[in-house]
Amino acid sequence: MVEIVANEKKFEFLEHTADVYIAAYGKDMIEAFENAAFAMFEVMTDVSNLKADIEDYVEVEGEDEQALLYNWLEALLVKFELNDILFSKFKILKMETTPSGFELKAEVFGEKFNPEKHVQKVGIKAVTYHRMQIIKEKNRITMKFILDI
């Protein structure tokens, strides 16, 4: 499955034997991080059926960009597990270099999980570093990562 918006792919699922392998795209790091989060929730449910009526906030740090991606996805997965909120909209407010690495601050929007309304696809056990890549090209970022299901 490939999610396309305005003729630009947001993400696609890549071949993997046991887990979910995702390539998320963006014109810059911010858009790629937002699309990576969107793709993760698409693994769990049909994100197009989600309302964005609950607002939350996420702040993560990482020693490098891969650690930042891991911590971003993990923080969202933990919020889902603890609060039963499926997120569908991600607005990164700030992403910057710090003395210890990188920092990301974002608003996230979604709705409470309702098994009668939300199609359950696959449960995600964890975000992994396995085969994680951030590929930077002119006007295009590709983030590849595996979710343990």
Query: From CA 76, how far away is CA 72, in angstroms rounded?
Result: 6
Q: How confident is the model at residue 130 (pLDDT cuts 50, 70, 90)?
A: very high
How do 54-62 and 85-98 pair as beta strands?
Answer: unpaired
pLDDT at 5: 44
Q: How confident is the model at residue 2 (pLDDT cuts 50, 70, 90)?
A: very low
CATH assignment of the domain containing 63: 3.55.10.10
- On the question of pLDDT at 7 being above 60, the answer is no
pTM score of the predicted model: 0.92
pLDDT at 76: 98
Q: How confident is the model at residue 18 (pLDDT cuts 50, 70, 90)?
A: confident
- On the question of pLDDT at 127 being above 70, the answer is yes
Q: How far is CA 137 from the centre of its chain?
A: 20
Q: How many domains does the chain have?
A: 1
Domain of 11, in residue numbers: 2-148
CA distances from 6 to 1, 9, 22, 37, 110 (A): 16, 8, 20, 19, 22
88-120 tens-digit pLDDT:
999 999 999 999 999 999 999 999 999 999 999
51-88 tens-digit pLDDT:
999 999 999 999 999 999 999 999 999 999 999 999 99
